[in-house]
Amino acid sequence: MTTTCSVEHATSLATRALENSGVSSANAKAVTNALIAAEIDGIPSHGLSRVAYYAAQAASGKVDGQAVASLTSKGSVINVDAGTGFAFAAIQKGLGPLVEQARASGLAALSVGNSHHFGVAGHHVEAIADHGLVGLGFGNSPAAIAPWGGNRPLFGTDPIAFASPRANGPSLVVDLSVSKIARGKIMMAHNRGEAIPDDWALDAEGQPTRDAGEAMKGSLRPIGDAKGSSLALMVELLTAGLSHSAFGYEASSLFSPEGDPPRLGQLFLAIDPAFFGAGSAFVERVEALLGKMGEQQGVRLPGQRRRLCRQRYRGNVELDESVYESLTRLASDHG
């Protein structure tokens, strides 16, 4: 069962729910805006279903809802310490300087440390590309994937995102996880009591499972088998390694209020095409390649489903009834 809810009402509920749990108004706004954007793009696993988890962690102190991120820079590198607070406000603090530095020197990096779940990776790099820059984003997460050949999760699902400006239309966005499926989708299946495909995950014994609960106790399958496991290793080092944050196996769960702060890491790169050989012709080169892809029947550009959801948006979101009830309860709870 679902409930149709206006974005204004959903935003109000989510913001109040977070504020009631000890989150500052500024941080609550940044978190809510990110989750609403996920709902609009048809990604409910990274949408308002996360509010209950975020609120519980803020209430327990696992995430500092009052945190104010600090920023330092050295050359073309910007470092932001999220202070064990929410990732969204910390990333917002660094994106503006990242864009400015990339325009000044052609290439810049933003490293975010001591952070939390950063939601839809594609949204952050899309914001970079909307300034006419090429964006790359990486983020690590609590252990969910075992090294290839192993049976104990060490790496997170570790999203990788890319965005490019285009000559015509919205930016091209590529957003993928190094696991075959996002852990959030397994979590949603578990909450609904639904089975999952047997090629999504392994149980704690390393055997394929259709039980979402057993999958959350075990490990997720990486894309491309050994190749996906190697990509996860790369992301862990680029994010937690560079920012001195927690590797996946050191990070606590994003779905539980117990434990220490996750202290995750993120890395973003911004590239100004004007500094490279193609210069202003870069976007035309983008269109040439995408045009060739479009000539083949059945080919769908990355991010096309999200763009269609965004185009169909008319001011309302469809929420799972349990999510709506949770938001309503948390928003009215002043205890």
pLDDT single digits (tens) 76-94 = 999 999 999 999 999 999 9
Total-model pTM: 0.93
Residue 22 has pLDDT above 60, yes or no: yes
Contacting residues for 5 by C-beta, under 8 A, at least 6 apart: 316, 317, 318, 319, 324
Q: How far apart are CA 35 and CA 38, in angstroms?
A: 5
- Phi and psi dihedrals of 320, rounded to 5? -55, 140
Tokens 């940044």 sit on residue: 30
Fold of 69-179+222-302: Ribosomal Protein S8; Chain: A, domain 1 (3.30.1370)
Residue extent(s) of CATH 1.10.1530.10 domains in the chain: 1-60+314-335
Residue type at 313 in one-letter notation: Y
* Domain spanning 1-60+314-335: CATH 3.30.497.10: no
Band of the pLDDT at 149, cuts 50, 70, 90? Answer: confident
Answer whether 141's CB lies under 8 Å from 236's CB. no
- Phi and psi dihedrals of 62, rounded to 5? -65, -35
Tokens 């491309």 sit on residue: 224
Residue extent(s) of CATH 3.30.1370.60 domains in the chain: 69-179+222-302
